[in-house]
Amino acid sequence: MKTFNRILLIICALMLAASPAMAETISFSGQVTAAFSHDVYSPFTAAVDQLHVAAGDTVQAGTVIAELRTTKVYAEAAGTVTAVFGQEGDSAETIATRYGAVAYLDDGVHYTIAVSAEDAKAYNSVESQYVQPGEAVYLRSRSEESRTGTGVITVVDDTGYTVEVLTGGFLTGETVNIYRTADHTDAQRIGRGAIVNKPALAVTGTGCIVNMAVKPGDTVQRGDLLMETLTGDANVSGAQAALLAEAEGTVASISVQQGATVEAGALVATLWPWEAMQLQASIPEADLGAISAGDTVEIVFDWNQDSGESTQGTVRAISAVNDANSETTQFIAYIDFTPDASVRYGMNATVTTIE
């Protein structure tokens, strides 16, 4: 019997020696991080008018991250927009150099009269020696007295004053007398001058156009918005004051404050896209032989460890240098997996090798 038992033990030992060694599973601590990020930069120098998100917020592609404070150009008078040469992304200065203005506005005043100081003083009445902007005046042609009209004094300086012609069928170049009263008496005459064409009002600005609020043919009132500009590079495709998220994901950080000025090219926010999720697991130096790139691993999230649920991942790579932030010699394994809606950046998990 002893001989039989000895033979049996020898046979078992030989079988164990001939069979492959049982693989040992090893577990590591891991955390959800981003394999890559999207950075949002400001193409303009401007104050941050509004911040619409905070770090940790979930955003969709196209979500407004921040709005920059624009310089707004308003209509100086009521009228009709006759021409628009600028569009979003254009340099307002470049367009004005080429076309004289970004846009033109017809305010209904087509003629003016320039009255020189000498012509204004040609009349000896004390009343004729003093005029002021905004004063209503009455006009009569010197060559055809039946041709009359009205105007308003707009500019007064040492060289004379200017009258905008409001009514009257006068001809360009025609000389008219200017009076304070509708009866056109000589005692109320305060000057004379020639009718000249008044160009449409020129709409100008500085910086990059981010909003052209009008188009040719639009009727506007005084104070209506015509365009908005920002200081920065011109010819920006789709230039706008709103800075948008490029993809669905999480706001990792905000680098600006509301109300503060951001420089052109400065970082505004960093986003971690949904598709960038990965696990980073710390591998002790002694366990490097137990895990390799391409291995399948089991992932159990700490918050859900009692449910018995797990997901699988694949080791994409293992760092070739130790983690400088670790007190012991550790190496980082980068693990790809397919997250569901419950997974968030920063979650902790246990990663286990599979036999």
Do 244 and 205 lie in one domain? The reply is: no
Do 79 and 222 lie in one domain? The reply is: yes
Give the β-pairing of 330-337 and 277-284.
Answer: antiparallel
For residue 235, what pLDDT is reported? 46
Furthest-apart CA atoms within the chain: distance in Å? 152
Does some domain include residue 16? no
Which whole number is the average pLDDT over 190-205?
A: 94
Do 187 and 319 lie in one domain? The reply is: no
Give the β-pairing of 79-84 and 111-116.
Answer: unpaired
Do 50 and 115 lie in one domain? The reply is: no
Three-state secondary structure call for residue 253: strand
Do 82 and 224 lie in one domain? The reply is: yes
The 10 Å Cβ neighbour count of residue 277 is: 21
Using the predicted structure, report yes or no on whether residue 115 has a pLDDT greater than 60.
Answer: yes
Using the predicted structure, report yes or no on whether residue 8 has a pLDDT greater than 50.
Answer: no
For residue 328, what pLDDT is reported? 86
Do 193 and 117 lie in one domain? The reply is: yes
Using the predicted structure, report yes or no on whether residue 259 has a pLDDT greater than 70.
Answer: yes
Do 216 and 102 lie in one domain? The reply is: yes
Using the predicted structure, report yes or no on whether residue 238 has a pLDDT greater than 70.
Answer: no
Does some domain include residue 18? no
Q: Give the amino acid at 163.
A: V
Using the predicted structure, report yes or no on whether residue 16 has a pLDDT greater than 50.
Answer: no
Do 122 and 157 lie in one domain? The reply is: yes
Do 261 and 334 lie in one domain? The reply is: no
Does some domain include residue 169? yes
CA distance 180 to 131: 10
Q: pLDDT, tens digit, for every residue of 62-74? A: 999 999 999 999 9
Q: What CATH number did the domain enclosing 332 receive?
A: 2.40.30.170
Placement of tokens 């105007």 in the chain: 151
Do 176 and 149 lie in one domain? The reply is: yes
Does some domain include residue 7? no
In total, how many domains does the chain have?
A: 4
Does some domain include residue 13? no
Q: What's the token pair of residue 338? A: 């397919």
Q: What CATH number did the domain enclosing 148 receive?
A: 2.40.30.10
CA distance 198 to 334: 72
The β-bridge partners of 34 are 277
Residue 149: closest CA among 125, 123, 177: 177
pTM above 0.85, yes or no: no
Using the predicted structure, report yes or no on whether residue 9 has a pLDDT greater than 60.
Answer: no
Does some domain include residue 22? no
CA distance 122 to 192: 9
Q: What CATH number did the domain enclosing 219 receive?
A: 2.40.50.100
Which whole number is the average pLDDT over 306-318?
A: 92
Does some domain include residue 14? no
CA distance 278 to 267: 24
Contact 220, 174 (CB under 8 A): no
Do 193 and 336 lie in one domain? The reply is: no
On average, the pLDDT of the chain sits at 88
Does some domain include residue 322? yes
Which of residues 253, 272, 291 is at a domain's end?
Answer: 272
Do 126 and 190 lie in one domain? The reply is: yes
Which of residues 224, 252, 272 is at a domain's end?
Answer: 272
Contact 18, 333 (CB under 8 A): no
pLDDT band (50, 70, 90) for residue 131: confident
Q: Which element (helix H / strand E) includes 203?
A: strand 201-203
Strands (E), 52-170: 58-59, 64-68, 71-74, 79-84, 103-106, 111-116, 136-141, 148-157, 160-167
The 10 Å Cβ neighbour count of residue 135 is: 16
Segments forming the whole domain that contains residue 328: 27-35+275-353
Which of residues 221, 244, 272 is at a domain's end?
Answer: 272
